[in-house]
Amino acid sequence: MSHSKDPSKDTSRAASGLDRGEQHDVTELHAAVLREKPDPVEGFEPVNLWVVAGIAGLLFWGGAYLTQYSGRFEAMEFSEIPHGKPAPVAAVAADPLAAVKREGMLTYNAVCALCHGEDGAGKAGVAPPLAGSDWVNADGPNRLMRIVRHGLKGTVKVNKDVTWNPANDPSIVMGSQWEAIGASNEKLAAVLTYIRSSWGNTGAPVTAPMVADGLAPVKERSGDDNWTQEELLKVPASGAGAPAVAAGPATPEQLKAQFEALPADQRQALLKELSK
Ligand code: HEC
């Protein structure tokens, strides 16, 4: 008996259409294998070029955006709250007065601006204007330093156009700002220098020794004892406020003026002393 032939090699059966099992195209089989990704291996793979290009694009865009909208890298640039621009450091170093004004501005904005406004224009019903005020632009700072040291109450004629608190409303007062500014002659001098040289005001600078001299006669006065306009007008605006000892032999008029410039409690004490 002869062996029958290998059926796969039996082309005649395929051709006859009887063998439906083993007819595969080799290219078709390989295509399926080629489609599969290779198995992952350990090690470094290069980063996808699209990711690199994407990050480069973002960096470029970020740089362009900052150039356009950086606001000169000033934190307060876009703040809606009004803010003074601090003087550049170089200018401050070159000009000591600029440094004093800058310090005064910081105190002013932190303490006084709440009521008088950062622009010194005052606020209706809250506080009178400092811009254009006769008190602020006075020859000397004697009355000004008293206002900040002990406060102010009652009707105040600010300038020819503004009479503040004409009804003399006792609920409208400026309390002593001495503690709020840091209870220091330097701070007081700086804030007065600032308000006297801002918003079109033309007052000369104020120094700490001027404040020390000017306030010496009233250092016993209590911070709750607010000044009134009448009292302040008796104090000479410039020069030593109300010197305890006159430079030369004082005239009776001078002595009387000095006596009247003293606060009420000191006048009382002096009278008592003299009547002994
Ligand atoms: C709580 C609100 C308030 C604060 C804070 C305040 N003031 Fe006043 N200020 C007033 C009021 C109110 C008056 C008017 C008082 C009156 O009715 O007699 C006044 C009056 C004045 C006056 C005299 C009037 C004028 O317009 O020139 C000066 C000067 C002044 N203030 C300076 C300052 C300074 C400097 C500071 C900060 C150290 C300050 N004030 C802080 C409310 C305030």
Is the shortest distance between the CB of 105 and ligand 1 below 6 Å? no
The residue to mutate among 105, 107, 112, having the most atoms of ligand 1 within 8 angstroms of its beta carbon, is: 112
CA distance 264 to 260: 9
pLDDT digits (tens, 9 = 90+) for 234-262: 999 987 644 433 345 567 777 787 888 88
SS3 of residue 250 by DSSP: coil
In a domain, 78, yes or no: no
pLDDT for 189 = 97
In a domain, 102, yes or no: yes
- Residue 276 vs residue 173, higher pLDDT: 173
**Of the candidates 115, 268, 108, which has an alpha carbon nearest to the alpha carbon of residue 190?**
108
Q: What percent of the chain has pLDDT over 70?
A: 83
pLDDT for 4 = 47
pLDDT for 88 = 62
Is the shortest distance between the CB of 195 and ligand 1 below 6 Å? yes
Mean pLDDT value across the chain: 85
Query: DSSP strand E in 161-237: where?
Result: 163-164, 173-174, 227-228
Task: For residue 81, give both structure tokens.
Answer: 């709250």
Is 148 in contact with 192 (CB distance < 8 Å)? yes
CA distance 27 to 220: 110
Q: At what angle do helices 185-196 and 142-150 cross, to 10 degrees?
A: 120
pLDDT digits (tens, 9 = 90+) for 58-90: 999 999 999 888 888 877 777 777 666 665 666
If phi over 0 gives left and psi between -120 and 50 gives alpha, with beta otherwise, what is residue 128? beta
In a domain, 206, yes or no: yes
pLDDT for 126 = 95
Is 130 in contact with 122 (CB distance < 8 Å)? yes
Largest CA distance in the chain: 164
Is the shortest distance between the CB of 189 and ligand 1 below 6 Å? no
**Of the candidates 77, 95, 93, 97, which has an alpha carbon nearest to the alpha carbon of residue 85?**
77
Q: Provide the residue range defining the domain that includes 96.
A: 89-242+250-270
In a domain, 217, yes or no: yes
CA of 136 to the centre of ligand 1 (A): 11
In a domain, 225, yes or no: yes
Ligand 1: residue whose CA is nearest its atom 38: 112
pLDDT digits (tens, 9 = 90+) for 130-159: 999 999 999 999 999 999 999 999 999 999
pLDDT for 78 = 78
Helices (runs of H) and strands (runs of E) counted in the chain: 12, 5
Is the shortest distance between the CB of 153 and ligand 1 below 6 Å? yes
CA of 66 to the centre of ligand 1 (A): 43
**How many domains does the chain contain in total?**
1
In a domain, 119, yes or no: yes
CA distance 165 to 115: 14
Is the shortest distance between the CB of 164 and ligand 1 below 6 Å? yes
What's the CATH code of the domain at 260?
1.10.760.10
In a domain, 234, yes or no: yes
Beta bridge partners of residue 163, listed in sequence order: 157
pLDDT digits (tens, 9 = 90+) for 5-36: 454 455 555 566 656 666 677 888 888 888 88
pLDDT digits (tens, 9 = 90+) for 32-52: 888 888 787 888 888 899 999
Measured from the CA of 226, which atom of ligand 1 is nearest?
18
Ligand 1: residue whose CA is nearest its atom 39: 112
Measured from the CA of 144, which atom of ligand 1 is nearest?
29
Is the shortest distance between the CB of 190 and ligand 1 below 6 Å? no
The answer, yes or no, to whether residue 205 has pLDDT greater than 90, is yes
pLDDT for 2 = 44
The residue to mutate among 106, 116, 195, having the most atoms of ligand 1 within 8 angstroms of its beta carbon, is: 116
CA distance 233 to 264: 15
Neighbours of 5 (CB within 10 A): 10
pLDDT for 259 = 83
